[in-house]
Amino acid sequence: MKLHLKIFRVLLFLLPLQIGKHFWPDWSLVFGIRVDYLSPVIYLTDILVLTLLLVWLGQNFREIGGFLVKKKIYIFLIGALFLANVLVAQHPTAAFFGWAKIFEVLAFSFYVFWEKEKTVNLIYKTIPLTLFYLAPIAVLQFYFQRTIGGPLYFLGERSFSVSTPGIALVDLWGKSFMRPYTIFPHPNALAGYTLVATLIAFFQKEKRGLLFFSEIFFGLFVILISFSQNAWISLLLIIALKLIGKKTYFYTTLLVFVLSLALLFPINLSLFSLSFFGESFSKRLELSRIAGVIFAKRPFLGIGLNNLFYLLPSFQNRVSWWLQPIHNTYLLVLTETGFLGFSYFYFFVLRPFVKKKNLPFLIFLLAIILTGFSDHYWLTAQQNLLLFGIVVGGAYSWN
């Protein structure tokens, strides 16, 4: 096995790790408040990705260069969008670092596509194995209602408990319980990752007896105790579509419906009173409404990647700022990159469905699309963003 494939296999197994070094430049603060989403971070998985890409490019520079020359129009368009989006941003440095992460993931996704004969097989064999260490951590955290500490700190586990302010809770039998985070930034991000990892386990070609059933069991159990309604509903929809049939136009139709509905979400808010919903959901709806207002002012190029946080305080009560990304992947892309950036994104995720190849990876991509309707972690959480790139690279491997 070539060195870059060995690194890729290690990376897949360590994909859920959150360990990294945070930096806090002045532009990562909003009115003196540290915003995690603005902090540049060098993760262990970033080092592995960059090492993998350097080794791979060194071994295949001429072939890759020739291929990219043929696709120069796409490279030019993405480069033009990058420059324009950074230049229109209120804080260009924040936008630049946001694009740096996007380019890293695009290059990583391209690697998965290029080496598809080897990478796809490794994806099936390795990613489900991560469930064997995520599931026990989730069970222990839920049982003790706190993080475990000790060696898990070096995997990226943060320190908190059920009594920590702002922690994700669920009400059961009249009592509040902490939802398990494992080594993810939020239980919903854990649930989204686990949903895709479980689907990968289910669609692997080799049904490996006890190992196969253990992966499925651990995955479903983690999704259950994450209490992520988003993941639950997405899983049920995928099961329903799978029972309907294998024709991919079902998935394409649902994809178009979800993205279209997502764009109309801020308009639909005018039909409701936000007080009608629970506090958490009302905040999400309010962020979507703000997204609609911001987009109306900057519809073509958006406000710049990572620049939403600087504008949110002007739309919120000064006493209760909620410096969070819009909990809707598509509205987040639309707001920060405008209609032009969203069109690129839409084409990027839709094209594999149009080709109607590699059905399992279309299902994995559909899971990401569905969960992205009401959350942002596929763009903002390291583990989920890398998995997004892996799935897209696999979905493009129809040749």
142-153 residue pLDDT tens:
999 999 988 898
Least confident of 39-43, 372-376, 390-394: 372-376
Least confident of 28-32, 179-183, 240-244: 240-244
d(CA 289, CA 315): 10
Contact 181, 187 (CB under 8 A): yes
Contact 393, 113 (CB under 8 A): yes
Residue scoring higher pLDDT (180 or 173): 180
7-62 residue pLDDT tens:
999 999 999 999 999 999 999 999 888 999 999 999 999 999 999 999 999 999 88
> Tokens 């990562």 belong to which residue?
28
pLDDT at 272 over 50: no
pTM of this prediction? 0.93
Main-chain phi, psi angles of 320, to 5 degrees:
-135, 55
279-312 residue pLDDT tens:
566 777 788 888 888 998 999 999 999 999 999 8
66-110 residue pLDDT tens:
988 888 898 999 999 999 999 999 999 999 999 999 999 999 999
Burial 152-171 (b: 16+ CB within 10 A, else e): beebbbeebeeeeeebbbee
Contact 384, 350 (CB under 8 A): no
Provide the pLDDT for residue 182.
96
> Tokens 């696999």 belong to which residue?
394
Provide the pLDDT for residue 289.
82
Q: Which residues contact 316 (CB under 8 A, 6 or more apart)?
A: 286, 290, 322
Percent above pLDDT 70 for the chain: 88
Cα 394 to Cα 74, 178, 349: the distances in Å are 19, 35, 12
Q: Nearest-CA neighbor of 383 among 123, 113, 183?
A: 183
At 269, the amino acid letter reads L
Provide the pLDDT for residue 250.
62
Most trustworthy range by pLDDT among 198-212, 278-292, 311-325: 198-212
